[in-house]
Amino acid sequence: MLLKKFFKRLLIKLNRFCGYEIIDQNEFSFPSLGNKKYNDLNIINEKSIVVPLGEVKITRKVKSLGIIVRTNSNIHISDQNKKRIFNKDKLDYIEKSLKSLIVSINSFNQKLKNFTINLTIVDQSNDANLLKKFNQIFSNTNLKVKIISFDKNEFKNEINVDHSKDIFGNLSSLLKCFKIAKNNSDDLNLFLEDDYLHKESLIEEMIMTYERISSQLNTELLLVPSDYPYLYMKERHTKVLAGSHRHWQTLDKILCSFMTSKKILDIYWENFLLTCQNHNEPIEKYLNEICEKEICLSPIPSLSLHMSNVNSIYGISPFLDVKDEWNI
């Protein structure tokens, strides 16, 4: 028995020295990886292992993540008179969204303590109650959070829309987020709206999936966090790829919550500006042009739940227990 253990340890060391990992098929365990669970074999910036697909060497290493969230407690649903699922006050959705995001960030930071995540809130509310919520939500986290009280008129000379309309404020805050990302040095930027409920694994999976697929295809990406209903409303051609923990499908259009690289932002900066300068139909018209040239992906199943009207084709994701997600 002792001799067997000796040779087993020796075999593990030899395989690791040669760049291989071992799967003990009898026990379905991974001795060369410290017997981690089969769905927790990835090492950020180093390797991505999906059983039984094998290992992908990470050549596209993510260095940092900027998360930029737009909040507005004064607008329930932009350009619509519809009610959201559960028919709550907008403050409730913002609180749920930010709390779920913090849980996801903290979960990732526990696994990788030296990875830099910068969180910025672009708030257009001018609402004292929301500011109190911010203090409550962020008081128990070590994360450095920058809160910007944003005046939509900052870009009144850059946006060709009636300043009194809700869409002007929407485009103005979106432009603010894009410019923050453009001027910062974060490797990846995740743009989020205030009405998404996020899975705990959101940050980990989006970063590790970006590394895996970008390394495989040798290209930059755009990832959205939600599996939208519109993707299944009609027949369309798509490709399905294996991410770090789930499948991802290719898209030809996105919404305004997505993650991409500083490189994509720089290359297509004109598209990002054009998105905000006029009331396009759809709003994401010029972002969708990027998807015609670059790879855009969404997760199956969803990593984020869009808490909109139940009948919206851009709303709640299929096969998610919405009540369970809300009550977590």
Residue 40: count other Cβ atoms within 10 Å of its Cβ.
Answer: 13
Q: Round the average pLDDT of the chain to a whole number and report it.
A: 89
Contact in structure between 183 and 248 (CB atoms under 8 Å)? no
How much is the average pLDDT of 246-274? 97
What's the confidence (pLDDT) of residue 275?
98
> Among 21-30, 196-205, 239-248, 282-291, whose mean pLDDT is lowest?
21-30
Contact in structure between 52 and 102 (CB atoms under 8 Å)? no
DSSP string, 70-121: EE-TT-SSTT--PPPGGG--HHHHHHHHHHHHHHHHHHHHHH-TT-EEEEEE
What's the confidence (pLDDT) of residue 325?
87
The number of C-alpha atoms within 13 Å of 187 and in the hemisphere containing its C-beta is: 13
Give the residue from 299, 311, 181, 88 showing the smallest Cα distance to 97: 88
How much is the average pLDDT of 72-78? 80
What's the confidence (pLDDT) of residue 26?
54
When mean pLDDT is compared over 40-44, 49-53, 162-166, the highest value belongs to 49-53
pTM of the model: 0.90
Q: Sorting pLDDT into bands at 50, 70 and 90, what band is 112?
A: confident
Phi, psi of 202, rounded to the nearest 5 degrees: -50, -60
Distances, alpha carbon 156 to alpha carbons 85, 160, 163, 173, 304, in Å: 33, 8, 7, 11, 32
Amino acid at 109: N
Amino acid at 185: S
What's the confidence (pLDDT) of residue 55?
87
144-167 tens-digit pLDDT: 899 999 999 999 999 998 877 889
288 pLDDT exceeds 60?
yes
Contact in structure between 310 and 292 (CB atoms under 8 Å)? no
Distances, alpha carbon 6 to alpha carbons 10, 23, 27, 33, in Å: 6, 17, 18, 17
DSSP string, 139-169: TT--S-EEEEE--GGGGTTT--S-TTSHHHH
Structure tokens at 132: 């109190």
What's the confidence (pLDDT) of residue 16?
59
- More confident of the two residues 58 and 5: 58
What's the confidence (pLDDT) of residue 174?
97
What's the confidence (pLDDT) of residue 143?
85
Distance, CA of 212 to CA of 250 (rounded, Å): 15
> Among 34-38, 98-102, 241-245, 258-262, whose mean pLDDT is lowest?
34-38
**Residues in a beta bridge with 261:** 188
Helix (H) / strand (E) element for 132: namely helix 128-138
11 pLDDT exceeds 70?
no
How much is the average pLDDT of 178-205? 97
What's the confidence (pLDDT) of residue 35?
45
96-107 tens-digit pLDDT: 999 999 999 999
